[in-house]
Structure 1
Amino acid sequence: MADVQTASPLPPAPSAPGSPRKRRLWRPMLIMVAVVLVIVAIIAGVKFVQISALIAQSKAPLPAAVVTAMHVPFSEWQPSVSAVGSMKAVRGVDVTTEVGGIVRTLGFKPGQEVPAQALLVQLNADSDIAQLHSLEATADLAVIVLKRDKAQLAVNAVSQAQVDTDTADLKAKQAAAEQQRALVAKKTIRAPFAGRIGITSVNPGQYLNPGDKIATLQTFDPIYIDFTVPQTQLEAIAIGQPVAVTADGLSNQTFTGRVSTIDTQFDSTTRNVTVEATVENPRQSLVPGMFARAVVTSGTPQRYLTVPQTAVTYNPYGTTVFIATSAKNDKGEDVLTAQQTFIQTGPTRGDQVAILSGVKEGDLLITSGQMKLKNGSPVKVDNSAAPLNDPAPTPQEH
C-alpha cells in the first residue's frame, strides 16, 4: 500500500500595505503624539502669558522710597578741644599731728566748713605746759642775774667775762623755753586754710602717733580740673582760654573756667600733655576726684555746611550722600529722584557733621533711608521721623 504524504501547512501570507491590521497599530501612536503636542502647546501658552506679565510689570514705574530729607544750611561752628579729666582741689591736705598725745577735744564735725586757723584737735598738754612754766621761771631768774651782774660791772665788782656768761646763759634758757612753748603749740592742731573738713576716725581719748591722719581738708571754690590733650591739639590750647566743664551726676549743669597751666613735658608713652584749668564752683557741686569732661574754646567761629551724621555713608571707595533732585517721569510729572555724590567731611559735633565739599547750600539732602536707594531711585520725603540733629545731644529716655 503506497505511503500517503501529508503536506505541511503554509505560513500566513504577510499583510499587505494598508491592511486593516496595520491601521489598527498606527492609530494609538497618532493619538498619543497628538495629546503630547496639545500638552506642550498648553504649557507654552501659560509660560508665554507669565513672561508677558513679568515684562509688563518690569516696565511699570518703581514705587517711591520713603525717606527723610532737609535743605543743607550753613551753621556757626566754634572750634574746641574736648577731653576728659579729674577734679582736683586747689588746696587740699591730710591733717596730721607732728607730736604724739591723747586727744582731749575735737573742734569740728565731719563735712563742716572751717575757717583758717580754726581749732581742729586739742591734745593733752598738761605736763608740757608745766615744763614750760618751769623753763620760763628759769629764764626769768637768768634775766635778774644778768641785770645784777651788769650793775656790779659798773662798779668793777665783777668781770666782763661774768656778764658775758650770764648773757649766754639767759639766751640758752630763753631758747629752751621757746622750744617747749613750740611743743605745747603743736598739741593744738589748727586748720592751715579755710575749707571743708572730711570724715574722721579720731575720737576723744584716742592716742595719736606722730603722722597719724586726722581728716582731709580741701578748698572747693575754685577747683581745678586736670585733663590731657594729644600733641596734635596742643597748638589749639593757650593759657586763659575759656573752659566749659560738665560731670556725670550733675545733669544740666555747666561750670565755667579758664586754662591756668600747661605742663612742661609730655608723657613719653602716650605723647599727651596735662592741662590744668581753674573752674568756678560757688555751690561746691564739683568735688575733688570726680570724673568730668572739659571743652576748651579755641579760635574764632567758623561757618560750615552742617548735616546730620546719619546722612553720610562711609565706604571703602569714598564718602557719599544722596541728594533729592527734581525730574520729570514718562508722563511728564515732576518727581524726586535720588542722586549719589561724593563729599569731603570736616569736624563733627554731637549728631552733626560738617561738609567741606560735594554739596552746596540749599540742596535737598536725604538724611535717612538711603540704604535702599540707588542713582535714579524715586523718593518721597516724609520727615515725621527725622533723625536727631543736635550739636550737643543728651541721653534720651522714652
Structure 2
Amino acid sequence: MLSPQYVRIPMNKRILLTAVIALGVLGAIFGFKYLQIRQAKAAMAARKPAPAAVTTTPAVQETWRSTLHAVGSLESFRGVTLRAEIEGRIVHVGFESGARVQAGDVLVELDSQAETAQLRSNEATARLAALNLVRARDLRENSTNTQADLDTAEATAAQTAAATEATKATLAKKRIVAPFAGRLGLRQVNPGQFLNKADLIVTLEASDPIYADFSLPQQDVTQLRPGLPVKVSIDAFADREFDGVVEAIDPRINETTRNLRVRARLPNPDEALRPGMFVRVDVVLPDERPVVVLPATAIVYSPYGDSVYVVAKNEQGVLAAQQRFVQVGPKRGDQISLLGGVKPGEEIVTAGQGKLRPGTPVTVNNSVVPTNNPAPKPAES
C-alpha cells in the first residue's frame, strides 16, 4: 500500500485546482483595488475647494444725467497761414516765434523804394490831370473847347487816379500785418531774404475761445441742439475738465459714415488747449435717469457680453459668486453705471474675478479696495 505523499492526483483535477486558486487570488486583488478606488472617490467627494478671496462693494443707485460720448479734435477759433502776396526783399521782421500780436501789428516789411517813387510820380500826374480837368470844364461852359476835349480830360484824370490807387495797393502788400489778434507760430523768414509770391511767413492762431469738433451717430440727431453743455477731457490735462456748449450742428450727415458733425465752443483764456489736440467729449443731455453705480473694475468684459459677479449665500449657506450679465452705461472717473442686470444693495465683486467661476465659494477681504471716485485726480508727488 502506497503512502499518502505518493497519491497521484489526476491531471484534470490538478488543472481545475490551479484555476480555482488563480481565480481566488485575482478576485482578491481586484476586490482590494475596487475598495481603494471607492475610498478615493469618497475622499474626493468629501473634499471642498478653498474659498477664493475677493473684494466687494454694494451696488449703489444714483441719478445721472444722460450723456452722448464722442471723440474729436480741437480747432482754432481763427487760424491762418500768412504768405507773401507779392515778391520783394525783406527789410524788417517785426515778430518772434510764438509771440502774441494784436490786429494790425506789422509782421514783415518788404523793400518798397521803387513803389514809393512810383507813387510820387503817379500822384504828380494825377494832380496835373485834375487841374486839366477843371480847366476843360471851365472852357466847356464857355463853349471854347469841344465835348471830346472834356471827355479826354475826364478819362485822363480817372486813369491817373486809378494808377495812384494801384501803386498804393502794391505798397500796402509790402507791409504784411496781423489780420486779427492771436499767437504766432514758428517764424519762417529772416531780414534780407527774398520772398517769392505765396512763400510761407508764419501761422497765426486765435485760440480763445477754441472749437471742439466731433462726430455722433445719426440716431442721436433728435437729441442734439445748439446750447447743450459739453464736458471735454484730454490726456494732457488728466486733472482738468473743460466746459463748453454746442455751437453748431452740420445740417448734412456724412454719407459714408452716417455720422453727424458737431462743433462745441470752449473758453480758453489760459491757452492751455491747443488746436489739433485729441479730446473726449461728453454732451450732457437735459434728461436724468436712475442708474446703478459700481467701480469700473467690477465689470468683466468678454466678446459674448459684459458681466459682474454677485456674492450671496447658496443653498448650503456658503458665500458663493454668481455671474450676472449686465448692460453697461456711461462712465465717470473710476465709476461706471449699469442700466440693467444688478439691483441696488447687491454685493458685487470688484477685484479677484480672474479666479472665479459661477458657484465658486468666496471669502470677502476688503482691506484693500479699488478706487471709486467720480472725479479722480493724479496723486501729488
Q: Place the TM-score, normalised by the shorter chain, in its bin.
A: 0.7 to 0.9
2:328 and 2:259 map into 1 onto residues whose CA distance is 23
| Match of residue 62 from structure 2 | 75
1:85 and 1:317 map into 2 onto residues whose CA distance is 29
Deviation at 1:208, TM superposition (A): 1.3
Residues 53-84 of structure 1, C-alpha deviations (whole Å, 9 max, x = no match): 75366346654443322222102322112211
1:320 and 1:253 map into 2 onto residues whose CA distance is 31
| Match of residue 209 from structure 1 | 196
| Residue 345 (structure 2) pairs with residue 362 (structure 1) | yes
Please identify the structure whose Cα radius of gyration is greater.
1
| Match of residue 233 from structure 2 | 246
1:148 and 1:189 map into 2 onto residues whose CA distance is 41
1:138 and 1:315 map into 2 onto residues whose CA distance is 85
Is the contact between residue 65 and residue 284 of structure 2 (CA under 8 Å) also seen in structure 1?
A: yes
| Residue 144 (structure 2) pairs with residue 169 (structure 1) | no
Deviation at 1:35, TM superposition (A): 11
- Normalised by the size of structure 1, how large is the TM-score? 0.79
Q: In the alignment, residue 122 of structure 1 is paired with which amino acid?
A: E
Is the contact between residue 126 and residue 160 of structure 2 (CA under 8 Å) also seen in structure 1?
A: yes
| Match of residue 372 from structure 1 | 356
- Normalised by the size of structure 2, how large is the TM-score? 0.82
Residues 334-388 of structure 1, C-alpha deviations (whole Å, 9 max, x = no match): 7534455x5552414255554445543222334444553444x543211234445
Deviation at 1:122, TM superposition (A): 0.7
Is the contact between residue 343 and residue 356 of structure 1 (CA under 8 Å) also seen in structure 2?
A: no
| Residue 355 (structure 2) pairs with residue 381 (structure 1) | no
Alignment of 1:71-220 (within 5 A): 71-152=58-139, 156=142, 158-159=144-145, 161=147, 162-220=149-207
Is the contact between residue 326 and residue 342 of structure 2 (CA under 8 Å) also seen in structure 1?
A: no
Task: Give the root-mean-square deviation of aligned CA atoms.
Answer: 3.8
Q: Percent identity?
A: 37
Is the contact between residue 343 and residue 355 of structure 1 (CA under 8 Å) also seen in structure 2?
A: no
Q: Secondary structure at the match of 2:270?
A: coil
Deviation at 1:89, TM superposition (A): 1.0
| Match of residue 232 from structure 1 | 219
Q: Secondary structure at the match of 2:252?
A: coil
Deviation at 1:220, TM superposition (A): 1.2
Q: In the alignment, residue 360 of structure 1 is paired with which amino acid?
A: K
Q: Tell me how many residue pairs correspond in the alignment.
A: 375
Match of 2:319 among 336, 343, 364: 336
| Match of residue 286 from structure 2 | 299
Structure 1 runs not aligned, ≥5 long: 1-14
Structure 2 runs not aligned, ≥5 long: none
| Match of residue 10 from structure 1 | none
| Residue 332 (structure 2) pairs with residue 345 (structure 1) | no
Is the contact between residue 228 and residue 246 of structure 2 (CA under 8 Å) also seen in structure 1?
A: yes
Is the contact between residue 78 and residue 302 of structure 1 (CA under 8 Å) also seen in structure 2?
A: yes
1:320 and 1:205 map into 2 onto residues whose CA distance is 69
2:93 and 2:202 map into 1 onto residues whose CA distance is 11
Deviation at 1:141, TM superposition (A): 1.7
